[in-house]
Structure 1
């Protein structure tokens, strides 16, 4: 595997974690938003990733990267609260709140941050290996 392939893998992994952090930030920003109906309530989003393997036309080298398949909305039920005096209350006095679980989102944020840092460390080690190879050639 070439150094450029390793950089491609690390870079795609970092992009995936940035997307994951973006969805966590969006979810946390909307964690306690209210709506007048269940359909209008904010639903947590999660990115879906897959490993994509590619092979050279001459079958000499293989590479991989993280592919984003899309972003899906959570199917957890939204929270309903009886708040008849709220301007958002429906005819039954119910107000609907997002289905975001802030504790789970914070755990996901920590996991994504650590995964991003791991990719940075991989890239730094590859760079260090390249520098060592250049010094050997002198």
Structure 2
């Protein structure tokens, strides 16, 4: 039973990281500069999941936060913007808010499913203890 709870917990942590990454993308949808102040649009990030393996058996969820490095920026004509190039275009992150919101909804549902699995596992453990008592 503890192994099941460990697997469920790893799924919860992975989905929480996915939601945090989506929130970071949404927060930076109009960011045109990097952390050092250089003109460079924010690069969208996403979470990639994989099965954690122990002794050849699945033991949970692993994740990596990756950056979409080759994403073309969204170019907008704004000649008065301080980050505009010599032609008047500003490079914004290529982040689609609809896609991000759908991904957030999916991650939220997966998180809820993990919580439901945890509650079911806990009930099974309680019932087992009652039977054994």
TM-score normalised according to structure 2 size: 0.88
Is the CA contact 1:33–1:42 (under 8 Å) kept in the aligned structure 2?
Answer: yes
List alignment gaps of at least 5 residues for structure 1.
Answer: 57-61
Is the CA contact 1:5–1:63 (under 8 Å) kept in the aligned structure 2?
Answer: no
1:78 corresponds, among 62, 73, 77, to 73
CA distance in 2, matches of 1:63, 1:93: 53
Q: State the match for 1:32 in structure 2.
A: 30
**Higher Cα radius of gyration:** 1
Count of residues in Structure 1 that have an aligned counterpart in Structure 2? 129
Q: State the match for 2:42 in structure 1.
A: 42
List alignment gaps of at least 5 residues for structure 2.
Answer: 34-38
CA distance in 1, matches of 2:11, 2:127: 25
Correspondence 1:1-138 to 2 at 5 A: 3-35=1-33, 40-55=40-55, 62-68=57-63, 70-74=64-68, 75-138=70-133
TM-score normalised according to structure 1 size: 0.85
Cα RMSD (Å): 2.0
How much has 1:63 moved relative to structure 2? Answer: 4.8
Superposed structure 1 runs of 4+ greater than 3 Å apart: none
